[in-house]
Structure 1
């Protein structure tokens, strides 16, 4: 089945503007009908979703362009494409590690505040007073 740019946009959730930009950047090359209108195939859906995933994971457009160019060259470039993805995966793993460390630090701080708030609440109840200096 073939789709117009509007239908393809609705199916993929990618704006018409972005689809045109991706075409301009040679990330996706839709077929053209006799009247010059773009015609997207079923296979373009998976490809555009993969492009979106690469973009969402921080791969620069220039790298995605290189990948798309290699893909267009066929099976002889599979090793190169795999290497590109392996490098990108390594970058993501490193970023995930940093984010996990940040998350752990935030968890520690949240635990600290919960403990301090609990202490202040207990102290207030013990003194039956509205103001306690430990909560400043």
Structure 2
């Protein structure tokens, strides 16, 4: 089946202008054009578009995505290079996930802190928490600054 820029953009949840920009930047060498120059997206283009969107969402630059696409278009001779790019980006995402998990842990602690304070009607109930960790769930002990 053939799709227009608008149709494929809607399927992917991106704007048509995003796809046009990707094309302008050389990320869509696999997309065919009609005699009139209209982009003709096919079902087999979707995996390519999905990896481009995935890499973009992970923070990879358009320039680096282009390198990945170019290596992909060269075929099996560039498997090692493609693996290096994907592995490197995966490590970046792993580090971001760890950072976000740390932030989520802190927000969970603060949620617990304020929920228990609200029930007691004061934050003062936590003033002695650094001396007595028994009142604090163990998973939050790392957030307590000892006196």
Both proteins in one fold, TM over 0.5: yes
CA RMSD of aligned residues (A): 1.5
Aligned to 2:113: 112
Larger Rg: 1
Structure 1 SS opposite 2:41 = strand
* Residue in structure 2 matched with residue 2 of structure 1 by the alignment: 2
* CA deviation string 1:10-54 (max 9, x = no partner): 333332211110011111132121222221222111111111111
Partners in 2 of 1:40 and 1:33 — Cα distance?
Answer: 10
**1:98 equivalent in structure 2:** 99
What SS does the corresponding residue of 1:39 show, helix, strand or coil?
strand
User: Relative to structure 2, which stretch is displaced further, 5-14 or 46-55?
Assistant: 5-14
Once the two structures are superposed, the pairs formed by residues 1-136 of structure 1 within 5 Å of their partners are 1-29=1-29, 30-120=31-121
- Structure 1 stretches of 4+ with a deviation exceeding 6 A read none
Residue segments in structure 1 that go unaligned for 5+ positions in a row: 122-136
Q: How many residues align?
A: 121
User: Hey, what's the Cα distance between the residues in 2 that align with 1:83 and 1:28?
Assistant: 21
Secondary structure, counterpart of 1:99 in structure 2: helix
1:8 offset after TM fit, Å?
A: 2.4
Q: TM-score, normalised by structure 1?
A: 0.81
Q: 1 CA distance for matches of 2:56 and 2:32?
A: 23
Gaps of 5+ in 2: 123-147
Larger RCO (alpha carbons 8 Å, 6+ apart):
1
Q: Distance in 2 between matches of 1:7 and 1:24?
A: 18
Relative to the length of structure 2, the TM-score reads 0.75
